[in-house]
Amino acid sequence: MQIIYKDEYGVSLYWGASTHPANIGDTVIIEDEEYRVKSRIFSPIKDEIIIVMTQGSVRTPVSETASDAGRLNQVNSAIMQTNKRIDATEKKNRALNEQLVSVRKHINQRIRQDKKDSE
C-alpha cells in the first residue's frame, strides 16, 4: 500500500510503502520538521492512503468548565447592557432631533409671519 504525506497546500512531502499510516492528531517528523496529521484519505482503487498534515497547531475540542460558562454569561450580560445603553442613547438623540426640527419650523414660521406683517 502506497502512503503519501502531503501538507495542507497539496505539496507532497513524502511517499512510500508502509504498513502503519499515521492517524489523525498524530505527530509526524519529516526532514526534521514536525507536522500534525489533519486528515486521512483512503483510495482503495489506487491502493493508497493520502495523509494531509499541517505545521500549525490542530485545535482539539475543549470541554466547557463552570468558570468558562460563568465568564461567557458575564460577557453576554455585558454585551446586552451595552446594547441597551446604545438603544437608549439613540432614542434620546432621535427625540432631540425631532425637537430641534420642531423649533426650527416654529422659528421659520415666525420669520415668515413677521415678513408678511412688515410688508
Q: Which residues contact 12 (CB under 8 A, 6 or more apart)?
A: 4, 5, 6
What is the pLDDT, as a whole number, of residue 12?
A: 87
Determine how many CB atoms are found less than 10 A away from the CB of residue 50.
19
Instruction: Indicate whether 67 and 107 sit together in one domain.
Output: yes
- Per-residue confidence (pLDDT) for residue 92, from 0 to 100: 94
Same domain, 27 and 75: no
Report pLDDT for 63: 64
Q: How many domains does the chain have?
A: 2
Instruction: Please say whether the beta carbons of 91 and 83 come within 8 A.
Output: no
CA distances from 91 to 10, 84, 86, 95 (A): 55, 11, 9, 6
Three-class DSSP category at 21 = coil
Whether 12 and 48 share a structural domain: yes
Closest CA to 64 of 54, 56, 72: 72
67, three cell numbers? 468558570
On whether both 67 and 49 belong to a single domain, the answer is no
| Judgement on whether residues 66 and 92 belong to the same structural domain of the protein | yes
Mark whether 70 and 43 lie in a shared domain: no
Of 54, 81, 96, the one marking the end of a domain is: 54
pLDDT along the chain (119 residues), means of 10: 88 82 87 88 89 73 70 90 93 94 94 87
**45 and 74 share a domain?**
no
Domain that holds residue 33: 2-54
pTM for the structure as a whole? 0.45
